């Protein structure tokens, strides 16, 4: 046996009967020869880490718009925290860590610049002006799948396994993922962002720890460490059948915490004051990008094959915050005349 086959044999021996085994993957979009070192899910994880879309996450907003300071989360650091929490749960439940990590690392690849404000703005545009294939609206989880299937590697995609693509698509809402590993990522994503958003909000002066509802802290604890620990332990205790859940008391406190964060931070007029500018920026960039000559070479190919509106959306969704601002200023803000 080669190293991959040995690893697959170990998976069959030590993982739960509910685990998704790499040797039983439903396969890739396009058949490939197996690697002699890495399982299918390990290869997926590696491809995601090395792709351009993953690197761009370091300059995309998580909650606070392009924050000044080294310790605020970006979309990349959020992704890494999701992966850590998800892997812990997968390990405790004896599920496939490699599959869980691959889904975690790719789940937000399709997020727009400027966080959910950018996503909402692009969704409005795409709802009014459907794309050439008849689809309308914009959802970052669908864009994440499009990136790994179509846009990465100069239009060839990453050719990931069906299990990873399903987990990406189902990580946020709608139907649950087909695998327990995909279902782990869905709950780990929520555990991660609620807790790190509290920490970032404290750093930003938006709220204090002692302002969290007492009914929540009495159940989940008074620190990020305590909350994450109790939430993860609850998921592990209650999810041995592969369906991710928590004890009712824990789940209620978690839902109440989410509602509190929504009212106190996610729609806080002080925290979100700059976001009212985002729809104009996205709208003007969309107008600009609908001229094929304005698109980079890889997006011009998408425009020819999938339509210029589709390419414009792909182009904007892939931008980082700084690049979107720089392009907007270069195209729409007058520059001082310079004598040459």
pLDDT tens digits for 106-156? 999 999 999 999 999 999 999 998 899 899 999 999 999 999 999 999 999
| Res 269 pLDDT > 90 | no
pLDDT band at 337 (very low <50, low <70, confident <90, very high): confident
DSSP assigned state of 210: G
C-alpha to C-alpha distance for 26 and 22, rounded to whole angstroms: 9
C-alpha to C-alpha distance for 90 and 191, rounded to whole angstroms: 14
| Residue 139, token pair as written in the block | 């959802």
Global pTM reads 0.96
| Res 178 pLDDT > 80 | yes
pLDDT for 7 equals: 98
Contacts 24+ apart (CB under 8 A), 69-76: 69/203, 71/203, 72/200, 72/203, 72/204, 73/196, 73/197, 73/200, 75/108, 75/111, 75/115
Contacts of 245 (CB under 8 A, 6+ apart): 235, 238, 239, 251
pLDDT digits (tens, 9 = 90+) for 22-78: 999 999 999 999 999 999 999 999 999 999 999 999 999 888 776 667 788 999 999
Residues linked to residue 74 through DSSP beta bridges, in sequence order: 61
Domains of the chain plus CATH, in order, are 36-272 (1.10.3210.10)
| Residue 64, token pair as written in the block | 């606070």
Residues linked to residue 28 through DSSP beta bridges, in sequence order: 161
pLDDT band at 339 (very low <50, low <70, confident <90, very high): confident
Contact call for residues 327 and 319 (beta carbons, < 8 A): yes
DSSP assigned state of 33: P
pLDDT for 273 equals: 80
pLDDT band at 103 (very low <50, low <70, confident <90, very high): very high
């Amino acid at each position: 046996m080669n190293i991959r086959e040995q690893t697959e044999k170990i998976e069959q021996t030590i993982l739960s009967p509910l685990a998704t085994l790499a040797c039983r993957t439903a396969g890739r979009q396009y058949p490939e020869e197996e690697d002699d070192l890495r399982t299918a899910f390990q290869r997926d994880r590696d491809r995601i880490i090395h792709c351009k879309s993953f690197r761009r996450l370091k300059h995309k907003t998580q909650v606070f718009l392009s924050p000044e300071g080294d310790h605020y989360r970006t979309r990349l650091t959020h992704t890494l925290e999701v992966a850590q929490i998800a892997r812990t749960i997968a390990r405790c439940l004896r599920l496939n860590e490699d599959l869980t990590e691959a889904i975690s690392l790719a789940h937000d690849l399709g997020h727009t610049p400027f966080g959910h404000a950018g996503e909402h703005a692009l969704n409005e545009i795409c709802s009014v002006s459907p794309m050439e294939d008849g689809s309308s609206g914009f959802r970052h989880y669908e864009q994440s799948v499009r990136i790994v299937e179509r846009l990465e590697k100069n239009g060839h995609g990453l050719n990931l396994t069906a299990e990873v693509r399903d987990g990406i698509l189902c990580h946020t809402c709608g139907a649950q993922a087909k695998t327990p590993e995909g279902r782990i990522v869905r709950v780990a994503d929520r555990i991660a962002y609620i807790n790190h958003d509290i920490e970032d909000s404290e750093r930003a002066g938006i709220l204090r720890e002692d302002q969290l509802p007492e009914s929540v802290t009495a159940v989940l604890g008074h620190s990020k460490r305590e909350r994450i620990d109790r939430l993860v332990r609850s998921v592990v205790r209650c999810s041995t059948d592969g369906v991710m859940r928590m004890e009712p008391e824990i789940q209620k406190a978690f839902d109440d915490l989410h509602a509190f964060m929504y009212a106190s931070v996610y729609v806080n007029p002080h925290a979100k004051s700059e976001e009212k500018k985002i729809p104009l920026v996205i709208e003007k960039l969309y107008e600009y990008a609908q001229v094929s000559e304005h698109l980079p070479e890889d997006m011009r190919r998408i425009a020819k094959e999938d339509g210029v509106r589709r390419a414009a959306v792909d182009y904007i969704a892939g931008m980082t915050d700084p690049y979107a601002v720089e392009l907007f200023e270069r195209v729409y803000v007058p520059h001082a005349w310079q004598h040459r």
